[in-house]
Amino acid sequence: MTQSFDVAVIGAGPGGYVAAIRCAQLGLNTVCIDEWKNPQGRPSLGGTCLNVGCIPSKALLESSENYERAAHKFSAHGITVEGLSIDVPVMISRKDKIVSNFTGGVAMLFKKNKVTSMHGRGTLLGNSEDGDSGNDMTWRVEVKNGDQTDTVEAKHIIIATGSTPRQLPFALVDNERILDNTGALALTEAPKRLGVIGGGVIGLEMGSMWRRLGSEVTILEALPGFLMAADEQVAKEARKIFTRESGLIIQTGVKISGVETAGTNITLEYADAQGGTQKLEVDKLIVAVGRIPNTAGLGVENAGLRMDNRGYIEVDSSCRTNLPNVYAVGDVVRGPMLAHKASEEGVAVAETIAGQAGHANLDTIPWVIYTSPEIAWVGKTEQELKAAGIQYKAGQFPFRANGRARALGETGGFVKVLADARTDRVLGIHMIGPYVSEMIAEAVTAMEFAASSEDIARIVHAHPSLSEALHEAALGVDKRAIHI
């Protein structure tokens, strides 16, 4: 059976499902095709983000953080906890409930907005009519679900097929002993010794989480530096806190030569930064060495879709591919692999298709790492400004001088504002500290509105609040911070 639509979206992660809802809001007859199945074998919308990414990881980080507070931080408030324990299966089932609530929520949103939802793998077959302008063209997509094959026709295609974990040939994931993000989010007990290959975002979040529940965690990172995408000063502060206070063992500049599994034991052999041979024995190993764009089974070759040399679908600044009326958004295209970036591109493409001025500003995408303390930033780092030869001024304020942070007992970290030396326009804001995942929104708003540091300095911030640290850092750009 062939059904016809204005728009067919392939993939129902935060790029695809948001694009589909926005298309429907704009009056476009829309189908969203997705192949994700949950562990019970049932269709589950929401992609990586809702099923095995952002949402489950934050649920578990919160649980483990509560345990950590009760174990180590409550006593400073005079609260004594006796017989403290953690029931990991309960923690995991709480996470599973949150996931199923949200994935079911996407299905409800589809119904509410009259988006047709089809389960199965979408393959781009080609177009039926190739008008010069592309106006009369109809694309055909095969939807295969087990033995059943359907075809949909649509004037516009939005590809939002996301990404999958990059594999290491010498440490193949079985999700029993060697885990990717899916396995790391489903362990039912804290391993005694946990190894992590990759000191990036997943490695740090998952490593922190299991460390708080008692695992001895060793992170092995290939690059010579730590968190090299972040501002150097933030990365330095983070490494200090993660190793001295959180108890993570972090080794950078390593080269892993082999991983052997024998029974429940996993042995990693690697050269350390000095070239010395080292051995690490662990009970579980997480491999988190980045993600690759997912175009498997999409039919890119048949359709003639152009890819770049790293396997991403090539798009212009409006997410248009080389094929007429075919767009691609989210992890499968260039730019940061973040859920909010995928969603913003999805909305922009829907609005472009509907004839509006769709726009996603990749220069003001916030980054957040949900460790403790949290790390967040938007815009340029100091090292990027130096490399580009841009003259800048910096203002910085530590959380130890912030009243709310003191009350919380979370005084590590700081806020830093970088502004153009000539115009005072804010070029980047970097934070490490409590709840900076929430505070970064003000920084993004300021940069979207092309604020100067003086603009932020002139805004009234509630007292006592963590946001005062941003206020003081902005004042600090002109050396007029009050409380330091």
Should residue 258 be labelled a site residue for ligand NAI when binding is judged by CB under 6 A?
Answer: no
Should residue 122 be labelled a site residue for ligand FAD when binding is judged by CB under 6 A?
Answer: yes
For ligand FAD, give the closer residue by CB, 35 or 472: 35
Should residue 256 be labelled a site residue for ligand NAI when binding is judged by CB under 6 A?
Answer: yes
Should residue 13 be labelled a site residue for ligand FAD when binding is judged by CB under 6 A?
Answer: yes
For residues 201 and 338, is the Cβ–Cβ distance under 8 A? no
Should residue 360 be labelled a site residue for ligand NAI when binding is judged by CB under 6 A?
Answer: no
How far apart CA 53 and CA 38 sit, in angstroms, is 13
How far apart CA 371 and CA 33 sit, in angstroms, is 34
Rounded to 5°, angle at Cα 250 from 247 and 254:
160
User: Binder to ligand FAD among 48, 218, 371, 381 (CB under 6 A)?
Assistant: 48
Query: Residue 121: which of ligand NAI, ligand FAD, none does it interact with, CB under 5 to 8 A by kind?
Result: ligand FAD
Should residue 16 be labelled a site residue for ligand FAD when binding is judged by CB under 6 A?
Answer: yes
Query: Across-strand partners of 416?
Result: 396, 430
Give the residue from 233, 231, 174, 223 showing the smallest Cα distance to 203. 223
User: Binder to ligand NAI among 16, 122, 183, 203 (CB under 6 A)?
Assistant: 203
Beta carbon of residue 169, minimum distance to ligand NAI (angstroms, whole number): 10
Residue nearest to ligand NAI (CB): 200
Should residue 336 be labelled a site residue for ligand NAI when binding is judged by CB under 6 A?
Answer: yes
Whether 340 is catalytic: no
For ligand NAI, give the closer residue by CB, 370 or 399: 370
Query: Residue 14: which of ligand NAI, ligand FAD, none does it interact with, CB under 5 to 8 A by kind?
Result: ligand FAD
Rounded to 5°, angle at Cα 286 from 285 and 289:
130
Place of tokens 């972090």: 250
Beta carbon of residue 153, minimum distance to ligand FAD (angstroms, whole number): 16
Should residue 17 be labelled a site residue for ligand NAI when binding is judged by CB under 6 A?
Answer: no
Query: Across-strand partners of 271?
Result: 255, 277
Should residue 49 be labelled a site residue for ligand FAD when binding is judged by CB under 6 A?
Answer: yes
For residues 389 and 380, is the Cβ–Cβ distance under 8 A? no
User: Binder to ligand FAD among 21, 23, 61, 162 (CB under 6 A)?
Assistant: 162
Peptide bond into 336 cis (omega under 30): no
Residue 484 CB neighbour total at 10 angstroms: 14
Should residue 369 be labelled a site residue for ligand NAI when binding is judged by CB under 6 A?
Answer: yes
Name the amino acid, one letter, at 371.
T
How far apart CA 419 and CA 478 sit, in angstroms, is 10
Tell me which residues are annotated as active site: 463
